[in-house]
Chain A
Amino acid sequence: MPPPSSDHPLSVSVHAAGLTYAGVPLFAGLDFTLPGGQWTCLLGPSGVGKTSLLKLIAGLLEPWAESRVMGGDGRPLTARAGYMAQQDLLMPWLTVLDNVLIGVRLRGEDARAAAPRARELLAQVGLADRAGDRPASLSGGQRQRVALARTLMEDRPVVLMDEPFSALDAITRHRLQALAARLLRGRTVLLVTHDPLEALRLGHRVHVMAGRPATLDQPLEPAGAPPRDVRAPDLLALQAELIQRLAGAEEMAA
């Protein structure tokens, strides 16, 4: 089942974004574009404002009045961006299937009609046989796969992900990156991460965010289509460069 929204990838433009958090201006007059149908990865030192920028795009934080977040079609992004956080945010009182269906229920839509699609998405993330279980019985990787299925259930053209794999062990993370790259193909993705290799593996573009108020550098654009082979020499060379940029960003913060 190809996601209907992938036929017309929606780009996102952030214009003159400004945000004050706890009295500190995190960024001001920031311009930022997410190319349609591509993965944009955002790296940077802790506390630089990566998550705040993502939440601003998701409409979860109130930015300065002049800030604009628009879809490529010139309309606001409202209700067209899905959100996936570092914690899986599964609800312990719901079964795996009901967790995938939570958005449908929250909007008061017909959950029974949506259940077959939810089961299919669970099958796609390899958890078809766990639909009736509670999240507490799943491993960290399995829980994050349910969260991925829940995100896919929302079927939004734009997906905003805030370090969704960072709490997982290396091998589980590697598998989940490949799965997410496959299942989210064709959607416009913003991935906030602190792992340079993850960014280079998955991103069409990789930005480093630095300074206060924070700015974005010219993005790195690794060759080839993600998910890339992490053993490729040019990828490792890029990783070295990226780590250098990040070290520079840390110094700016210090």
Chain B
Amino acid sequence: MRVLRPLVIFAGLLLLWQAVAAAFDLPRFILPQPWEVAQAGWANAGLLAHHARFTVAEILMGLALGTTLGCLTALTMAYFRPARRWLLPVLVTSQAIPVFALAPMLVLWLGFGMASKVAMAMLIIYFPVTAAFFDGLRRTEPGWLDLAHSMGASRRATLIRIRIPAALPALTSGLRVATAVAPIGAVVGEWVGASAGLGYLMLHANARTQQPLMFAALLTLAVIAVALYFAMDAALRRALPWQAETDPTTDRA
């Protein structure tokens, strides 16, 4: 059922799409039918793969950089109290600015290449990662800290051996959110100004009334985002086997 259920959901959505397109007799340039999109995807497989490579690279680099930076910020705030007082307001303020509004600036400063998209993805995941990890670091079980203190542990040893491992489950939920939103950052960056990537291909196809290709690019992006999420989820489960089962679909409540 675990494998079957996503397929059933996918088939259901496809059917719904077909039904809507047929029922309202929509023209091709508004909503192409699934088989037209499949045809366009098949015919342009090489083109899609070429652009997908850029988008995937942007997402992965953004994830790596944003996670690294977010973890470092959280650790700095957890370990140095003065840093907390200075960094926390900056962090909260930075969230008040809509990251999408920064996209034109990033393209202006970093150019039409991949750098501006990586920066965009990085910015969008920086806050969830930092907030989740910092929260985890702050909420160490007080009994563990008492125990460490009674054992004569230094602050550094307590951080490395107890507070960081204890905060990893919180970090993983931040990483799951980050993985889900990173593609948004990359694609928004591509829309604002780019010469490659699936977001760029969508705009390009739309302008040339190749709507089936635009939808094929969108579909490719969706497949990439879902695959990325499941890969991350599986990797995190493997990395923290001691963590309690947190699959929301098996909740009893």
- A-side interface residues toward B, CB under 8 Å? 55, 58-60, 79, 81-83, 85, 87, 89, 91-93, 102-103, 105-108, 134, 136, 154
Contact = CB atoms under 8 A, between A and B. Distances in A.
Contacts of B29: none
Contacts of A92: 242-243
Contacts of B146: 55, 58, 60, 83, 85
Contacts of B231: none
A108 B150 contact: no
A102 B148 CA distance: 9
B152 A81 contact: no
Interface string B157-184: 1100110011010000000000000000
A106 B161 contact: yes
Interface residues of B, number: 23
Given A55-B146, A85-B143, A89-B144, A108 B240 contact: no
Contacts of B28: none
A135 to B, nearest CB: 8
Interface string B11-37: 000000000000000000000000000
A54 to B, nearest CB: 11
B151 interface: yes
A58 B150 contact: yes
Nearest to A95: B242
Contacts, number: 60
B230 to A, nearest CB: 24
B72 interface: no
Contact of A107 (B144, B157, B242): B157
B147 A107 contact: no
B76 to A, nearest CB: 22
Interface string B212-253: 000000000000000000000000000011110000000000
Interface of B: 141, 143-144, 146-154, 157-158, 161-162, 165-166, 168, 240-243
Contact of A103 (B141, B151, B168, B241): B151
13 contacts: A55-B146, A58-B150, A59-B149, A82-B150, A83-B146, A83-B150, A87-B143, A89-B143, A103-B151, A103-B153, A105-B161, A106-B152, A107-B153
Contacts of A103: 151-153
B231 to A, nearest CB: 23
B152 A79 contact: yes
B242 A136 contact: yes
Residue in A79, A93, A108 with the greatest tally of chain B CB atoms within 10 Å: A93
Nearest to A105: B161
A91 B151 contact: no
Contact of A106 (B143, B153, B165, B168): B153
Nearest to B156: A108
A105 B152 CA distance: 11
Contacts of A59: 149-150
Q: 3 closest Cβ contacts across the A-B interface?
A: A106-B153, A83-B150, A103-B151
B242 A93 contact: yes
A21 to B, nearest CB: 14
B147 A83 contact: yes
B50 to A, nearest CB: 43
B204 to A, nearest CB: 49
Contacts of A55: 146
Contacts of B165: 91, 93
A87 B145 CA distance: 13
Contacts of B151: 102-103, 106-107, 154
